[in-house]
Structure 1
Amino acid sequence: MLDRLNAQLARLQTHPFYEGRLPSRVDSAEEFAERVPLMSRAELVAQMTRPGYGAFAPQVPPVRIHLTPMGASLVPILHSAADLRAIEAACGQHLDACGIGPGDVCMVTFGYHLFVAGLFYQSQMEARGVACIPHGPGETERAAGIARRCGVTVLAGNPSHALKLIEAGCPVPRVFFAGGEAFTGNEALYQRVRNAMPGTLLIDSFSLSECLPVARTFPGGTGVHVFDELLYAEVVDPDSGRPVAPGERGELVLTHLQKELQPLVRYRTGDLTVLRHTEPLFGRTVALPRVVFGRADSMVKIKGVKVYPSELRTVLLGVDGLSGAYRLVVSRSLNGSDHLRLQIEGAATPAAIDALAARFKRQTLINADVIEAVAKLEGSELVIDQRSTA
């Protein structure tokens, strides 16, 4: 990996955005993190909204331009012919690992309009000789009929929509590529899909429009493994920007290793995850065992632990009777320590409350002193911190 990083650093020495910002080489991952500055999404947006794409003006003609929403802007994401071939080669190795190739028929039910996944899956399948049906989302009955008529063996789409397709008579695929919503991180949804597709190889994935692809389930693995020929992945403390220890929660930071157009170096994704190094799995040794589970948004320190409010969404996934709305109320107990109340909207059984308490502890590493189900949460605050007024 160090050789790949140094090759990219050497290539970018004269790049208009990075010139003067990067060392020509580093001798360790620690030195890379110490000497190479983090890059924010705001910096990317600022350049790509300038005439000619600013410092990211393409040095070779792009052959594909995706537009992706970032705040109030639609930001162009540029790919050269070499960029697309590198993506197809990396995904091709994954398709090989899944036993997908000529003779398979893939139906893509992801969107194609300002959503990169549809064309992304279509192009990688076609590059590997797989017949592809670019159907897009919706029109469930028609899609199921087409799948039956054309003998679909591979399905790519939103898990909730895939369940509707199976109910409508779509043949159970040999391989299902899930995306667009939490999958392995949503135990209830994952189990529903597993029950509907009992013999299917289920693939979870994580990608960003600006870093495509990032990671995917490989057969026999846990979570998703990073495409490390394309990207170098780090996890940093969102507050300090310093790398965290392996297995600790933090913000995912990505560096392109081959990207010709719009290369990103130590790019802050804003996504919370955990990174672990594993034994080689189809050549992959870097895993995100829980994929991503929140955003590095406004952090609050409770009982000495950093808690990111958005990470709690995954705690509530799949619990019957809950709307998904929640709030953290932090106050002081009589002895001066932090007291944490988790409010959830809806009705939950005592068993569900106990399960939520265990999930909360597993996710945040602290205990919720009280979990309170309320009929309606008023207001939009995720955190009410009463400690300063106590």
Structure 2
Amino acid sequence: MLDRLNAQLERLRRHPFYAGRLPSHVMSTEEFAARTPLMSRADLVAEMGRPGYGAFAPHVPPVRVHLTPMGAALVPILNSAADLRAIEAACGQHLDACGIGPGDVCMVTFGYHLFVAGLFYQSQMEARGVACIPHGPGETERAADIARRCGVTVLAGNPSHALKLIEAGCPVPRVFFAGGEAFTGNQALYQRVHDAMPGTLLIDSFSLSECLPVARTFPGGTGVHVFEELLYAEVIDPDSGQPVAHGERGELVLTHLTKELQPLVRYRTGDLTVLRHTEPVFGRTVSLPRVVFGRADSMLKIKGVKIYPSELRAVLLGVEGLSGAYRLVVSRNAHGGDRLSLQVEGTPAPAAIDAIAMRFKQQTLISADAIEAVVKLEGTHLVTDQRSTA
């Protein structure tokens, strides 16, 4: 990895955005983290909003331009021919690992238009000799009929929609690529798909339009493994910006290793994750065992522990009787310490409350003092912090 990082640093020495910002060479990944500044999404949005894309003006012609929403803007994501070939090569190795190749038929039910997922899956399949049906989302009955008539063996799409396709008579695929919603992180949804597709190889994935692809399930691996030929992954403390120990949760930071257009270096994704090193799995050794499970933009400290309110969505996924809405209420107890109550919207069974309490502690490393189910939560705020008024 160090050789790849140094090769990228050398390539970017004279890049208009990075000139003067990056070290020319590092002796370790620790030195890379210490000497290389972090880059935010706001930095990217600002530069791409300048005439001709500012310092990211393409030095070779882009052959594909996707647009991705970032705040109020639709930001162009540029790819050169070499960028697309690198993506196809990396994804091709994954398809090989999954036993997908000529003779397979893939139906893509992700969206197309300006966005990335549909064409992303279509192009990698076609590059490996797989017949591809670019159906897009919706029209379930028609899609299921086409899948039957065309002998679909690989399905790529949203898990909830995939369940509807199976119910409508779509043949059970040999491999299913999930995306668009939490999958392995939502055990109830994952189990429903597993039950509906017996014997199917189920693939979870994580990608960003500006960093594509990031990681996927590899057969025999845990969670998703990072495409290390394309990206270097780190996890930092969102508050201090310093790297966390391996296995601790924090914000995912990504560095492109080969990208020709719009290369990103130590790019803060805003996504919370955990990173672990593993034995090689089809040559990959960096795993995100829980994929991503929240956002790093509203941290607060409770009982001495950093809590990210958005990560609690993962705690409630798949719990029957809940709407998914929740609120943290932080106050002072009689001794002046923090008291933490989790309010959840819905009518869960008592056993579900116990399961939520266990999941909460596993996720945050602290216990909730109370978990309260309410029929309707008023307002949209995730946190009520009463400590300053106590």
TM-score by length of 1: 1.00
Which residue does 2:164 correspond to in 1? 164
Which residue does 1:7 correspond to in 2? 7
Match runs of 1:305-324 below 5 Å: 305-324=305-324
Which residue does 2:302 correspond to in 1? 302
Which residue does 1:74 correspond to in 2? 74
Alpha-carbon deviations, 1:75-102, whole Å to 9, x = none?
0000000000000000000000000000
Between the aligned partners of 1:379 and 1:134, the Cα distance in structure 2 is 40
4+ residue stretches of structure 1 with deviation over 6 A?
A: none
Alpha-carbon deviations, 1:43-97, whole Å to 9, x = none?
0000111110000000000000001110010100000000000000000000000
Which residue does 1:289 correspond to in 2? 289
Which residue does 2:92 correspond to in 1? 92
Letter in 1 for 2:94: H
- Partner SS, residue 6 of structure 2: helix
Which residue does 1:56 correspond to in 2? 56
Letter in 2 for 1:103: G
What residue ranges of structure 1 are gaps of 5+ in the alignment?
A: none
Letter in 2 for 1:293: F
Q: What's the offset of the Cα at 1:115?
A: 2.4
Structure 2 residue 26 is matched with structure 1 residue 26: yes
- Give yes or no for contact 1:56–1:261 (8 Å, CA) kept in 2: yes
Between the aligned partners of 1:121 and 1:209, the Cα distance in structure 2 is 13
Which residue does 1:213 correspond to in 2? 213
- Give yes or no for contact 1:294–1:313 (8 Å, CA) kept in 2: yes
- Partner SS, residue 152 of structure 2: coil
Between the aligned partners of 1:324 and 1:130, the Cα distance in structure 2 is 38
- Partner SS, residue 206 of structure 1: strand
Letter in 2 for 1:255: T
Letter in 2 for 1:350: P
- The farther-off stretch of 335-344 and 172-181 is 335-344
Between the aligned partners of 2:126 and 2:381, the Cα distance in structure 1 is 46
Q: What's the offset of the Cα at 1:114?
A: 2.9
Identity %: 87
Which residue does 1:366 correspond to in 2? 366
Alignment root-mean-square deviation, CA: 0.5
Between the aligned partners of 1:210 and 1:374, the Cα distance in structure 2 is 39
Alpha-carbon deviations, 1:227-258, whole Å to 9, x = none?
00000000000000000000001000000000
Letter in 2 for 1:301: K
Which residue does 1:264 correspond to in 2? 264
Letter in 2 for 1:161: H
- Partner SS, residue 298 of structure 1: coil
Q: What's the offset of the Cα at 1:380?
A: 1.6
Which residue does 1:190 correspond to in 2? 190
Which residue does 1:275 correspond to in 2? 275
Structure 2 residue 235 is matched with structure 1 residue 235: yes
- Give yes or no for contact 1:6–1:26 (8 Å, CA) kept in 2: yes
Q: What's the offset of the Cα at 1:133?
A: 0.2
Alpha-carbon deviations, 1:132-188, whole Å to 9, x = none?
000000000000000000000000000000000000000000000000000000000
Q: What's the offset of the Cα at 1:365?
A: 0.6
- Partner SS, residue 133 of structure 1: strand
Number of residue-to-residue matches in the alignment: 390
- Give yes or no for contact 1:270–1:295 (8 Å, CA) kept in 2: yes
Between the aligned partners of 2:320 and 2:44, the Cα distance in structure 1 is 40
What residue ranges of structure 2 are gaps of 5+ in the alignment?
A: none
Between the aligned partners of 1:345 and 1:167, the Cα distance in structure 2 is 29
Which residue does 2:179 correspond to in 1? 179
Letter in 2 for 1:220: G
Which residue does 1:352 correspond to in 2? 352
Between the aligned partners of 1:195 and 1:340, the Cα distance in structure 2 is 37
Between the aligned partners of 1:385 and 1:78, the Cα distance in structure 2 is 42
Which residue does 2:377 correspond to in 1? 377
Alpha-carbon deviations, 1:186-236, whole Å to 9, x = none?
000000000000100000000000000000000011100000000000000
- Give yes or no for contact 1:297–1:309 (8 Å, CA) kept in 2: no
